[in-house]
Amino acid sequence: MERFGRLDILVHNAGALGKLTPAGHIVPKDLDECMAVNFTSAWRLIRTCAPVLAASDAGRAIFVTSRVAREPKAYWGAYAASKAAMETMIRCWADEVENTPLRINIFDPGRTATRMRATAFPGEDPRTLPTPADRAAALAALCLPSETRHGQIIRPT
């Protein structure tokens, strides 16, 4: 804020998978890590960055998620719950600033060849999946001043 007077773009792409295990077997350390990285860090960014984003003529905030937040699956409890909490917080924030120039969206890249995906699906051939670079253009487009979508979960086509 002191140097530039505003923040135009915020992208939260942090993610912690934790351990894929039955809900009753989730250990506190793994749940705490998922919540800290996937949810609490997003909330802290909102607290810190909301004023400087609001100072922009076209502030954009994008938070990366996963479909499992909306379609829970067995053994994904810690990760799914933390991403669902993050999505809820972001959608509340988006609703709060609806009548401002700030545009806030959630980006779900879908199946992507990442290290996290390889950990979750070790037998999957990553060459059959889009790469992070393949998904980058869709995420970057959400950061443009011309982007009008707001409060949505967006998946690349």
What is the reported pLDDT for 87?
A: 98
Q: Within 10 A of 136 (CB to CB), how many other CB atoms are there?
A: 12
What is the reported pLDDT for 157?
A: 78
Distance of CA 30 to the CA centre of its chain: 19
The DSSP call for residue 16 is: -
Distance (Å, whole) CA 125 – CA 113:
9
What is the reported pLDDT for 1?
A: 85
| CA within 13 Å, CB half, 46 | 19
From first to last of its 157 residues, the chain has per-residue pLDDT tens of 889 999 999 999 999 999 999 999 999 999 999 999 999 999 999 999 999 999 999 999 999 999 999 999 999 999 999 999 999 999 999 999 999 999 999 999 999 999 999 999 999 999 999 999 999 999 999 999 999 999 999 999 7
Longest dimension (CA), the chain: 49
Cβ within 8 Å of residue 114, ≥6 positions away: 132
What is the reported pLDDT for 90?
A: 98
- Nearest alpha-carbon partner for 11 in 103, 97, 99, 92: 103
Instruction: State the Rg of the chain over Cα.
Output: 16
What is the reported pLDDT for 51?
A: 96
Q: List active site positions.
A: 79
What is the reported pLDDT for 52?
A: 96
The pTM of this model reads 0.95
